[in-house]
Each structure stands twice: as structure tokens, then as C-alpha cells.
Chain A
Amino acid sequence: MNEFSYSRATSLRDAVRSQDKSGKAKYLAGGQTLLPSIKQLLDAPERLIDLSGAGLDGIEVGRKTITIGAMTRHADVAASAQVREAIPALADLAGRIGDAQVRNRGTIGGSVANSDPAADYPAALIGLCAIVHTNARKIPAEKFFVGLFQNALKSGELITKVEFEIPTGAAYEKFANPASRYAIVGVFAASFDHVMRIGVTGAAHFAFRWAEAEGHGLGVKDLSNVSLDQSRFNSDLYASATYRAHLVRVLTLRAVSRL
């Protein structure tokens, strides 16, 4: 591991001010990807700004939305009575991220900012029409994830919270990689009265909305002929693009059947 300097931001303002003009310092938001990357010499930031004291954690329930602070840990979302009441599928998803150690350190903001193609949260962000709040603006989830580990954030821009719409029903179906336990495919289905929303993670370079399936409605029993753009699908040791596409269809039906 290379040496780096460490500071702990005490507020959002402090965190933003601490960032270099060059944007070279890295924000530490749980560190469940960043720290292993540094240890394996895949990343070598000179400076880390820890956000754990910046007051960015917490869960707020509104009339139509639930808002989760960027530094809220997965374990807290999984255990939150408010989340379990408002969107039980979201608590269920949070409780299935990584392992207990990851859930106790990793945060929603860190996960969303990392934009790992196999992370769980992005499926929920898309399925629940979430808005990503940053220190500068609001970004709809559908426009947030734009490529492999790529998102709409600008250099130095900081996620402050994620705002989810409370659905009528929701379900998350995850087919985990047996080794890493990341999602080979994860499908988050949500219903807003009679309208359905499908967010898919793991399958492609970034999480996406499967709009073609949504139109078939809540009673759908067969998705085998619904078009699914596989041009940017992932393929690895455990799952080819073809298998992933098959899983998207299977898991979507399973998730929808639970709505």
C-alpha cells in the first residue's frame, strides 16, 4: 500500500473546500472498494477526505419519497424501521449487499458514486425513479449511470443524498456470482399504482431501465420475446452475455410476480 494523507471533513462545506482544485483528493465514503484497490496498488491517491463526520448520514421519510443520506451505511438501511415500512424491498436489497463487514462500513453514496456494474443499489435507484442529490444539482437515476464505472458526476462533485419514490409495491431478485457475491444480474421491479418500473444491474456495463418489459404490465407471464438490448452486456467466467440476458428475463418475471 502506498502512503497517503488522511483528513476527516466535519461538514459538507468542509468536504467540498478540502478538495483540491485539481480534484485529485479522493473522498472516502466507507472505503469498501477504494481501500482494497489501494492495498492492491490499483489506486494510489495522495489524499483521502473521509466523509464519515460530515453529517451526511440519516434517513428521512416524506409523503411520497424516502431520502437516504449519502453516508448512510447499508446495514442501517437494512435495519431501518422506516425503510422497512415504506419500501421493504429496498431494505432487503441493502441487507444482501456484500457481507456483514461491507454492510457495516459501505455507504449508499459510496456505492452509487463507484457505479460498479454489479452493485445492487443502482437497480433500486432506477426501479424507484430515484434522484441523486449532489452539492451542485439533482440528477435522475436514469441519467446518472452512463458507463462502466462511469457516472454523471463531475470532478470534485459530491453526492449528498439519494431520494427514492415510495412505490405501491417492489421486489428485488438477485442472482449472485458464487465467488464474489456481486450481482451477476439483479432486477428491481417496482409498481406505482398500475405503472411498472424495472431496473437491472449486473447484466450490462451499467445499470439500466428495461422499458420494453415495463409496458407488458403487472400480469406479465412471458418475457421471452421482449426486446432487450445486449450490446453492452457483460461476459465473464461465471456468466456469458447470453446467460445474463436469459437471467434478466427470468428474474424480472420472478420480481414482478412478487409485486
Chain B
Amino acid sequence: MATEENTGIGASVLRKEDRRFITGVGRYTDDIQVSGQTYAAFARSLWARARIDKLDTGVAAAMPGVIGVLTGAEMAADGLGGLPCGWLVKSKDGSDMQQPEHPPLAHTHLNFVGDAFAIVVADTEEHAQGAARALEQSVEVTELTPVVSLADATQSAPIHEALTSNVCYDWEIGDKAACKAGFAVADRVVEVELSNNRLIPNAMEPRAAIAEYSTGTDELTIHTTSQNPHLVRLILAAFVQLAPEHKLRVIAPDVGGGFGSKIFVYSEEVSVAWAAKKLRRPVRWTATRSESFLTDAHGRDHLTKAKLALSSEGKFLAMQVATKANLGAYLSTFASSVPTYLYGTLMAGQYATPAIHVEVQGTFTNTCPVDAYRGAGRPEATFVVERLVEMAARQLRADPAELRRVNFIKPDQFPYQTPVALVYDTGNYEASLSQALQHADYAGFAARQRAAEGRGKLRGIGLSCYIEACGLAPSQLAMNLGAGVGLWESAEIRVNPTGSVVVFTGSHSHGQGHETTFAQVVSSTLGVPFDQVEVVHGDTGRLDFGLGTYGSRSIAVGGSALIRASEKIIAKGKRIAAHLLQAGIDEIDFQDGVFSVQASNQSVTFAEVAFAAYIPNNVPTDEVEPGLAEKAFYDPENFTYPAGTHICEVEVDPETGKIDIIQFVAVDDFGEVINPMIVEGQVHGGLTQGIGQALFERGIYDDNGQLITGSYMDYCMPRADDLPNYVVDTTVTPCTHNPLGVKGCGEAGAIGAPAAVVNAVTHATGMKDISMPLHPEKVWRALQRKRRAA
């Protein structure tokens, strides 16, 4: 389908947005300057858990430059509602999950270090911060015993007085009895206890917001760093009740990375908007990096016990998983769904395991709320499945690739109903495994291992065959499972009289390159030159309602909406062309931007049809409405199921425990690919975050609930010199239920990589297990223990 310039579907077109990003002329929230603007800073809890006894704002209000000090109590008095959680999960016994109050500004209790309790507005950032620090020092509190440890939280007294315990829900999926029966007949059972380390998102651009209130029109405009501006508007209107939806405009301009953390609605943008309305002044705020560490919703943080039952031939018979998931102090916007419907449902992995049962206790602790972070539930599920499978292979002394192969769901088994609710539409797991093994020269590993031994190094190779469910999601299915919003996507295509096209999408790009990919799709479909397609996103004032970008959904759902809108444009174009060419509508063909009469040499171009749509000289407007603009709302039929094999090869220095990743191969099946270069970039980013989780990253609170990894001096992000050159390739089984045959690629790297790394390191060292992140001392100590035991 690629056009002559090769800008069509399947072409590695350079990204349109990079010119402005690379030359430093992007327009991020913090770049926006507003006349009369003021600066906000937040007074935040220094304690993990405390009751506010007295908050006197007098001293802070009298400090230089301070315009207003607004507290949680005033916000409550103004009648503002709390921040809602958008997914109602039910426990095994049918009861609703427990939901603590989540006021945007705390006014009675402080529940984690960083919990905001007042907003200070001043003439400069320094003045605002000075007064906020003064409030933090002067607020009188009674310190309460915090609950920090996930392992102990369910037994501890509830951190929220209104709740009966720290258990948000006790959820399950799958058939427990069938699972038990599988274990009863098993020849071998493999058991493991795993932790999935807490991660801090670290988007390059910190969260920020600017709110302007017009006293003349009563309109409130908020620029903010959101992956999902319509959701911000909906929550501010319907739940917080700050302003009616038609008087609210939320704009997410250029956004510098999100990884999930910018889906959610936070205290700060709500408070900034409230303050702007109350003080009648534009109010701006940009998080410091320290605030980002403390308050951007964290990711992962699970403790899991899992076991796998196998037959004597190495067939998987049953799998049992019990997980404690840390939800933090409050329920963030989608927190409840991540360790349940985005986790338990993925436990089949790529395997035809007949019986699976998963139990999850969602748990409150006095820590930053935990919500979706790149992969969201699916990396945690893959880690459980792929560590179990790897350990099974080692215990059976079977080839890990072969054990996986014999248990794969076979290509002729699709559509495949898993024991945990999902129906996989298509896939060919053997194909990606074989290709990955070739790229990794799996057969040559033994020789490389011997060579490494000669150099005093321990070499290992590890596989991870992951699956993910993307393209969230069939709305009715999601809402039956407790989702509070539908998960379709909107698209509008407006054709200008000169034939250029503006595309409006409800999904949002914050690094993914939609302005390029979506332009490729529309350019290919309508035959309009690539550079004449403009993609608009991220502004509730310009777009139809949309659901933003997360869960690798944009091309599968938003792209499908574009196809539907394009089809409507072509249908109307044919009617116009029929008049222009004086032919019957059924005689008109459309291809490569040209409408033509079948079996004739008569034709008009797309641009000519666009012109005639707006200057309807030979088109009777009583038969064809003027104009050429169409909308579509696309609700997917099913999830999409990207899958693939990642292979990691490492060398461990036994003297220091330091790990070097020598090679990393990723072969992914994303279905059809629109822009291979962008997809490869997405895989690189995902792998790097996955390797970061395995080797480096962990958010750590001390026993008092203080975050001790609150800066880059202590929280280790992966860097280029920590990583090998990746070998990235794809296989293709087109998605069967969307018009582009696409599946989504944004999260795959982060989902597959951690297990591949840990499997490689345990292989190299002969350890049974080791917890992430694999810091050198931890590896060294494990080797010491092993040496002593031997």
C-alpha cells in the first residue's frame, strides 16, 4: 500500500514530531506562559501516617509574595468531591471493594509521605515553595503508626478508620476445583515465591498544570500533562464537581512521556484548577523531580506464591497463583484493575494449561498510590508464568525452549479460550520462538559458555515467552467486569476544500509518534499525500470525547476508528464523484486517491472531490449534503494479543556479582506493523524499562514510610552503557478482528524482559531464584551462600 514516496502503511517514515522535539521547539505545559500567572506549591505530608490536629495558615499567608493559602478543609467546605477509582472490583464473596475517601487535598488525615494538604499560590515559584515549606513545618499533627510492609499489611490495623481492614478486595479468577484436581494427579510440582519490585515511573517531563479561569464566560481551561485529557475533564466535572463539563477545557499539549503515570487524575491538577477559580488568577505548577518520585503513581509491587503442576511428560496440568498487591494509600484512578483484570487473566501465557486459579488481595499501605505502569499487570503475570516455566525446565533437566514448545497453544487451536476468561484470537508462538532462538544462536550457547568460563565469567541464557492483552477493550465486557467507562475510541476526519486533511483522534501521543503513524494510515487509506495529513490530539475543546492512550491501545482502537471514519469519507466522496462524473454511484471505484468510473477513463481526484464538496457547483445539495467531514466511534470486539519471545544472555562476574547483558533478542508478533522504525523504537524503550526493573530499579520505603529512593542518587535508572545493542525482529499473525490487523507494541518490551534477564542470571549462576533488582551485592551474596553449601 505504500505510495511512491514510501510513506504508506509499512514504511519506516521519519517521525513528523521529531523536528520540533529535537530542535527544542516543542510546546510542553511548562513552556506555556499566561499573562498574570501565579505559581503554586504544595504543602505535603512529611509523615507516612498522621492526623492533622491544627493547620494555621496565618504565618504562611503573610510571607512575601503569597497570594493565597488554600487548605483541604476549605476545599471540602467548597463541596468538592474526592478522586474516584474508575474500576469497581468485587471480592470472591461478591462484595464490592473497599474504597477509602480520597480528597484531592487531605484535611483530616495524612496517609503517605508527599500527601498534599494545602496549596500555596504566590507571585514566584520561590515564594510559593517557601510558604509551602513553612506550612509543612508548622502543621500540628499526631503521628500514627504507619503500615508500610506489604507482607504485614493485611494483618495490621486499617490505615483508614472507615474501612474494616487494609484489604481492598480479595479477588479470584479461574476454577479452583479444577486446579486442585490438576495438582492431585501431577507427577511434579514446581513452587516459587516471587516479589515484583515497586517501580517509580520517571517520565522525562514532570507532571505540570496551568489553569485559567475566565470570569466573563465562567470557563475553566486547564493545560496539563495528561495521557487522557477527556478523562480529566470527566472526573473534574462529574466527580470532583469543580465545573460543569461544557465549561471545562482540558488540553494536554506536547507531553514528555507517561508510561501510564499520566493517565490518572491527581491532587495537583484538581487543586490548581480550584485555586485558579477561587483566586481569579491563572495558576501554574510544575513538579520538582523530588515531587515526581514521591507522588507519581508507582508501579508493580507484588508478593506472589505460585505453583505449577506437570505431568511426567512435562505437560502443564494446572497453575495456582496467590498474590498480595500493594495499592498504596489511596486507590488511584485505575489501580484496582491492574492486579486483577490486567494480571490474573494473563496467567495462561502462551500455554495450553488446562486449569488455572488466581487469587489477589489488593492491599492498602501508607505509601504512594500504585497504578498502571508500562505493561500494568501483564509484566507481573509474565514474570510469574515465565519464572515458573523456567524453574520447571531446570528441575526436569529439560531444555527450556523445548518445554515451552511442547506446552504452547498450537496455531490450529485459535480462537483459544483460556481458563482465565480471555479468548486469544490468533497467534503462532512457535514461529517467534524459533526465530528468536536463531537470532540468539541458541545452539552455539554451550561454546560461548565455555569461553566465558575461561575468562572467569559465568554465562547464562534465559527465555521469556510473553503474552499481553492490549487494545482495551470491548466496552461491554470491560463494564461487566467493573470498568466505569467504555473503552472505545473516537476519530474525526475533516477534509479541507483544497484536499488536505485534519485528523482528530481521541487517543493521545506522548512519545509514541501518532502524528506520524496515524498520518500514514489516513494517507494510505485516502490517497492523500502524507505531508497533507495533520493529526490533532489532546484537546477537549477540539476533539470529540476520547479515551486517551494506555495499554498499547492506540493503533488497535484509535487506528480502527480512523479506518471507519475514512470509509465514511470515501463513501461520501463516491456520491460526490458520481455527480461530477455523471455516473451511477455503484459504478465509482476509489483507489490511490482517485475516484473513477469502472471500465472508463473518466476520473476525478480526491482533491477535486473535496473542492466540490465545499463549492458544490455540479453537486445537488438536496441529494448530497455539502462538506466532507466524518466521525467514527470504534468499540473493539476483543482484546488484541501481541506475543513473542525474548532471549537474554548474560555474563556474571563471580568475584563482584556484577552482571553484563551480552545480548538481548526480542522477536515480537504485533500483527501488522504501520511504521517498523517506530515499533522498533517502542520495543527498545520497553526492553530498557524491563531490564531496568530486573537489574536496577526499586522504590524503597523505610520502616517509617519515608521514601529512601527519592532521587537519582539512589533510584537507579538504566543507562545506555548498561545495555547491549538489541536484536529486534517481528513475526506476523494479523489480528482477526480489527480492520488494520494490528495488535499494539508499546508495552511488550517491559512485559517480556524482566523474566528473560532473571532466567539468564539464574541459569548463569545455578541459583534457584533471586529477587529483582539484581544488584551486584545480592548476586555476590547468593553465590557465596551457594559456594558454602557446596
The 7 closest A-B CB pairs, nearest first, are A179-B716, A243-B777, A180-B713, A178-B716, A250-B655, A239-B777, A179-B714
Q: Name the contact of A246 in the complex, choosing from B696, B709, B780 (C-beta under 8 A).
A: B780
A237:B780 contact, CB within 8 angstroms: no
A40: nearest chain-B partner, CB-CB: B290
Q: Answer yes or no: B126 CB below 8 A from chain A CBs.
A: yes
From B126, B656, B722, A175 is in contact (CB under 8 Å) with B656
A-B contact pairs, 21 of them (CB 8 A): A1-B126, A40-B290, A175-B656, A175-B658, A178-B696, A178-B716, A178-B775, A179-B712, A179-B715, A179-B716, A179-B717, A180-B712, A180-B714, A237-B708, A237-B714, A238-B775, A238-B777, A240-B777, A243-B777, A243-B781, A250-B656
Q: Please, which residues of chain A bring their CB within 8 A of the CB of B656?
A: 175, 247, 250
Known: A178-B696, A179-B716, A247-B656. A237 touches B126 (CB 8 A): no
| Alpha-carbon distance between A240 and B780 when the two chains are bound, in angstroms | 12
Neighbouring B residues of A180 by C-beta, 8 Å:
712-714
Task: State whether A243 and B712 are in contact (beta carbons under 8 Å apart), knowing that A175-B656, A179-B696, A237-B700 are contacts in the complex.
Answer: no
Tell me which residues across on chain B come within 8 A of A178, comparing CB atoms.
695-696, 716, 722, 775-776
| B126 CB contacts on chain A under 8 angstroms | 1
* B: number of interface residues (CB 8 Å): 23
Q: Closest CB of chain A to B2's CB: distance in Å? A: 41
Q: Which residues of B contact A40 (CB under 8 A)?
A: 290
List B633-672 residues whose CB lies under 8 Å from chain A: 655-656, 658
Q: Which of B698-718 contact A (CB under 8 A)?
A: 700, 708-709, 712-717
For chains A and B in complex, what number of residue pairs have CB atoms within 8 angstroms?
Answer: 38
* Further 16 A-B residue pairs, CB within 8 A, beyond A238-B777, A243-B781: A40-B290, A175-B656, A175-B658, A178-B696, A178-B776, A179-B696, A179-B714, A179-B715, A179-B717, A180-B712, A180-B714, A238-B775, A238-B776, A243-B780, A250-B655, A250-B656
Across-interface contacts of B715 in A (CB, < 8 A):
179
Quick one: which of A1, A179, A240, A250 has the most chain B CB within 10 A?
A179
Cα distance A107–B290 in the bound complex, in angstroms: 27
Q: B268-293 vs A: 1/0 string, CB under 8 Å? A: 00000000000000000000001000
Question: Which residue from B655, B658, B713 sits with its C-beta under 8 Å from A179?
Answer: B713
Interface residues of B in 707-746 (CB under 8 A from A): 708-709, 712-717, 722
- CB-CB < 8 A to B658: which residues of A? 175
User: Closest A-chain residue to B718, C-beta based?
Assistant: A178
Nearest A residue (CB) for B712:
A179
Q: Which residues of A contact B708 (CB under 8 A)?
A: 237
Give min CB distance, B397 to chain A, whole Å.
33
| Interface bits A166-190 vs B (CB < 8 Å: 1, else 0) | 0000000001001110000000000
Which chain A residues border B700 with CB–CB below 8 Å? 237
A interface majority secondary structure? loop
Which A178-211 residues have C-beta < 8 A from chain B? 178-180
Closest to A180 in B: B713
In the complex, what distance in Å separates the CA atom of A134 from the CA atom of B310? 73
A178–B695 CA distance with the chains assembled, in angstroms = 10
Chain A 19-44 near chain B by CB (<8 Å), digits 1 or 0: 00000000000000000000011000
Q: How far is the CA of A41 from the CA of B130 in the complex (A)?
A: 10
Within 8 A of A (CB), among B600-658: 655-656, 658
Q: Which residue of chain B has its CB nearest to the CB of A250?
A: B655
Cβ proximity bits B225-236 to A, threshold 8 Å, 1 near / 0 not: 000000000000
Cα separation A237 to B708 with both chains bound (whole Å): 9
Expressed in whole angstroms, the minimum distance between the Cβ of B36 and any Cβ of chain A is 24
Which residues in window 225-240 of A have CB below 8 A to B?
Answer: 237-240
CB within 8 Å of A: which B472-514 residues: none
Minimum CB–CB distance for B449 against chain A, Å: 23
Interface flags for A216-259 (1: CB within 8 Å of B; 0: not) read 00000000000000000000011110010011001000000000
Least CB distance, A240 to chain B, in whole angstroms: 6
| B residues in contact with A247, CB < 8 Å | 656
A60 to B521, CA, bound (A): 64
Annotate A147-183 by CB proximity to B: 1 below 8 A, 0 otherwise.
0000000000000000000000000000100111000
A40 to B717, CA, bound (A): 21
Within 8 A of A (CB), among B735-786: 775-777, 780-781
Q: Which residues of A contact B695 (CB under 8 A)?
A: 178
Interface string of A34-74 (1 = CB under 8 A from B): 00000011000000000000000000000000000000000
**Cα-based distance from A73 to B71 in the complex (angstroms):** 48
Nearest CB in chain B: distance from A33 CB, A: 12
* Distance from B121 Cβ to chain A, minimum over Cβ atoms (Å): 20
Q: Give Cα A179–Cα B709 distance, bound, in whole angstroms.
A: 10
B780 closest partner in A (C-beta): A243
Which residues of A lie under 8 Å from residue B655 when comparing CB positions?
A: 250
Contacting residues, chain B, for A239 (C-beta < 8 A): 777
A71 and B80 alpha carbons, distance in the complex (Å)? 57
Q: Which of A40, A180, A237, A246 has the most CB of B within 10 A?
A: A237
Complex Cα gap A250–B653 (Å): 11
How far does the Cβ of B187 sit from chain A's closest Cβ, in whole Å? 41
- Which residues of the partner chain B approach A243 to less than 8 Å between Cβ atoms? 777, 780-781
Tell me the bound Cα distance from A180 to B133 in angstroms: 27
Task: Give chain A residues whose Cβ lies under 8 Å from the Cβ of B709.
Answer: 237
For window 149-204 of chain B, which residues contact chain A by CB distance below 8 Å?
Answer: none
Q: Which residue of A lies closest to B125 (CB)?
A: A1
B305 to chain A, nearest CB (A): 27
A147 to B: closest C-beta gap in Å: 21
**How many angstroms from the CA of A238 to the CA of B698 in the assembled complex?**
11
Smallest CB separation, A149 vs chain B (Å): 15
The chain A residue with its CB closest to the CB of B722 is A178
In the assembled complex, which residues on chain B have CB atoms less than 8 Å from the CB atom of A246?
Answer: 780
A4 to chain B, nearest CB (A): 13
Q: A41–B700 Cα gap in the complex (Å)?
A: 23
Q: Which residue of B lies closest to A237 (CB)?
A: B714
Q: Which B residues, 37 to 88, have Cβ-Cβ distances below 8 Å to chain A?
A: none
Contact residues in A for B696 (Cβ distance below 8 Å) = 178-179
B761 to chain A, nearest CB (A): 15
**Shortest Cβ distance from A224 into chain B, in angstroms?**
11
Q: Name which residue of chain A comes closest to B130, CB basis.
A: A2
Query: Which of B700, B712, B713 neighbours the largest number of chain A CB atoms within 10 Å of its CB?
Result: B713
Closest to B721 in A: A181
Q: What's the Cα separation between A237 and B714 when bound, in Å? A: 8
Interface centre among B290, B700, B714, by most chain A C-beta atoms within 10 angstroms, is: B714
| Identity of the chain B residue whose Cβ is nearest the Cβ of A238 in the assembled complex | B775
CA distance A180 to B715 in the complex (A): 9
Report the bound CA distance from A247 to B696 in whole Å. 19
- Bound together, the chains give a CA A250 to CA B126 distance in angstroms of 48
Instruction: Give the nearest-CB partner of B697 in chain A.
Output: A179
* Min CB–CB distance B39 → chain A (angstroms): 14
A34 to chain B, nearest CB (A): 16
CB distance from B335 to the nearest CB of A (A): 27
Q: How far is the CA of A93 from the CA of B452 in the complex (A)?
A: 28
How many angstroms from the CA of A175 to the CA of B712 in the assembled complex? 18
A180 to B777, CA, bound (A): 16
Question: Closest residue to A41 on the B side, CB-wise?
Answer: B133
Q: In whole angstroms, how far apart are the Cα atoms of A179 and B200 in the complex?
A: 14
Complex CA distance for A40 and B716, rounded to whole angstroms:
19
Q: Mark contacts of B218-252 with chain A using CB atoms, 8 A cut-off: 1 yes-contact digit, 0 otherwise.
A: 00000000000000000000000000000000000
Chain B proximity of A41: nearest CB distance (Å): 8
Question: Shortest Cβ distance from A43 into chain B, in angstroms?
Answer: 15
